[in-house]
Amino acid sequence: MREAYQSDLRHLVDDLVNMASMVESALSDATDALLDGDLALAERVVAADPHIDERQLDLDAKSVELLARQSPVATDLRLLVASLRMSSSLERMGDLCAHVALVARRSHPELAVPEQHREQIRRMSDLALAALRDAAQVISDRDLALAAQVEKNDDELDELQQEIAREIGKGEGYTNTQIVDLTLLIRFYERLGDHAVSLVRRVGFLVTGDAVDTLGQATDVTEF
Amino acid sequence: MREAYQSDLRHLVDDLVNMASMVESALSDATDALLDGDLALAERVVAADPHIDERQLDLDAKSVELLARQSPVATDLRLLVASLRMSSSLERMGDLCAHVALVARRSHPELAVPEQHREQIRRMSDLALAALRDAAQVISDRDLALAAQVEKNDDELDELQQEIAREIGKGEGYTNTQIVDLTLLIRFYERLGDHAVSLVRRVGFLVTGDAVDTLGQATDVTEF
């Protein structure tokens, strides 16, 4: 019984890591769809999002069941609370990937991202993708050094968002729709990074054993 | 002991309602700051956001403590899980209000919202405010009829976002910065509405007693 319980807890971590890898695929595909104007790929990303949502429901059902059945305390309780939060972040990240794909779809056959911003958007996507991959590893290995790295890398994502916003503000030759789309896109990538930071902070909460997840908030109130 | 526990659970609901009313003030002030170009008020909204964050930490600490100490099952367990989620939504709503205030601050002394969109933005804010007020009442009274109304009213918020986005897309005379700001603003108000819907769905989960919060996701993957 006790062994089954420990195995259930380990499975929960595996499920979180699997969910992260579904979001990774969605993010990678969404950016490709966006930059290549690949409508079919964009549609696939949008169509796949409900599967990520189902994973969350499944994961949360397991967490709640374990809370009810095992009355966990200490580390196990923290793991279950963290799991409920991490699944929310991952679900939301899936939504954000679908949003990127929706911008690609809405713009088709035009490309949403003007030539001069392609590299920056690719870089934002790469940074978000790396953050997500690292976060999955942090969840799996509880590697707090890597967690610190994820936080640090998030700054570059914020800076890129601000850089692009500044360039749009004083730039010329954009259509209104391009500005709307770019503004949304850089916000989506920046939010993806924030959620990755939230994920690793929650692992920190698990490891350090603070009474509550004081660091787990996505502190997204920045000057942009 | 048992009585103290029931009283703790009731306090949790009161705390959520109080947190909602802090967010209500933030939202109302943020919109006033935005539409009146009131820099001091914008600063106050930004400065007040950490207090909302603290409320979440406090609330979550209580929820986790009750989970650990009382090993709740059934309705009580659902209340605690819902509370953890609702506090997250409210904290996030506080962030979004601060974002609105930051747009007001960044634009000062200019007004961020062009004359022709002032009424629409006021309406979006009023709808989000009503949704938040209703959500607080749903949390307090578990009134599922009102919950259904919140969901229905959210459609108008989505439609307004789309309407403004369409008008920007084909409009003339905007500066690039106005387009960036408006795009962000209508997204913030729309997200505020989504979070209110999440809040009332979580109450639905409490009342109907589904095994898991299947309706609690902010399904924000819409065509805009």
For A148-186, the pLDDT digits (tens) are: 999 999 999 999 999 999 999 999 999 999 999 999 999
A77 and B61 in contact by Cβ < 8 A? no
Q: Is A90 exposed, middle or buried (0-12, 13-18, 19+ CB in 10 A)?
A: buried
pLDDT recorded at residue A60 = 93
**Cβ contacts (< 8 Å) between B77 and chain A: which residues?**
64, 67-68
A220 and B184 in contact by Cβ < 8 A? no
User: B210's torsion region: left (phi>0), alpha (psi -120 to 50) or beta?
Assistant: beta
Distance CA A94, CA A52 (A): 7
Looking at this protein, which amino acid is placed at residue B177?
T
B74 and A68 in contact by Cβ < 8 A? yes
Q: Is B2 helix (H, G, I), strand (E, B) or coil?
A: helix
Distance CA A107, CA B38 (A): 37
Q: Is the ipTM of this complex over 0.90?
A: yes
> For residue A221, what pLDDT band results from cuts at 50, 70 and 90?
low
pLDDT recorded at residue A191 = 98
Of A154, A149, A124, residue with least CA distance to A134: A149
Average pLDDT over residues A200-204: 92
Q: Is B113 or A75 the better-scoring residue by pLDDT?
A: B113
Domain B2-208 has CATH 1.20.58.220: yes
Q: Is B113 helix (H, G, I), strand (E, B) or coil?
A: coil
Residue A18 has pLDDT above 80, yes or no: yes
Contact A90, A20 (CB under 8 A): yes
> For residue A134, what pLDDT band results from cuts at 50, 70 and 90?
very high
In sequence order, the 6+-apart residues with CB closer than 8 A to the CB of A83 are: A12, A13, A16, A59, A63
Backbone dihedral angles phi then psi of residue A45, each to the nearest 5 degrees: -60, -45
In sequence order, the 6+-apart residues with CB closer than 8 A to the CB of B78 are: A64, B205, B206, B209
pLDDT recorded at residue A57 = 93
pLDDT recorded at residue A222 = 52
**Cβ contacts (< 8 Å) between B46 and chain A: which residues?**
221
pLDDT recorded at residue B3 = 85
B40 touches chain A (CB under 8 A): no
What percent of chain A is modeled with pLDDT above 90?
86
Q: Degrees (nearest 5) of the Cα angle A97, A99, A100?
A: 65
Domain ranges of chain B: 2-208
Backbone dihedral angles phi then psi of residue A51, each to the nearest 5 degrees: -70, -35
Contact B216, B202 (CB under 8 A): yes
A54 touches chain B (CB under 8 A): no
Q: How would you label A105-130 residue by residue, b for 16+ Cβ within 10 Å and e otherwise?
A: bebeeebbbbeebeebbeebbebbbb
A103 touches chain B (CB under 8 A): no
Among A88, A165, A187, whose Cβ lies nearest the Cβ of B88? A88
B56 and A214 in contact by Cβ < 8 A? no
> For residue A212, what pLDDT band results from cuts at 50, 70 and 90?
very low
Contact A164, B166 (CB under 8 A): no
Count of helices and strands (H, E) across chain B: 6, 0
Residue with tokens 């897309």: B169
Residues 129-158 of chain B whose Cβ lies under 8 A from any Cβ of chain A: none
Looking at this protein, which amino acid is placed at residue A109?
P
Residue A218 has pLDDT above 60, yes or no: no
pLDDT recorded at residue B208 = 80
Side-chain-side CA neighbours of residue B46 (13 Å): 20
pLDDT tens-digit profile of A30-42? 999 999 999 999 9
Q: CA nearest B220 in A: which residue?
A: A95
Average pLDDT over residues A91-111: 97
**How many angstroms separate the CA of residue B221 from the nearest CA in chain A?**
6
Blockwise average pLDDT, block size 10, chain B, 224 residues: 86 97 98 98 98 95 93 91 95 98 97 98 98 97 94 95 96 96 98 97 82 46 51
User: Dihedral sign, CA of A97, A98, A101, A102?
Assistant: negative
What percent of chain A is modeled with pLDDT above 70?
92
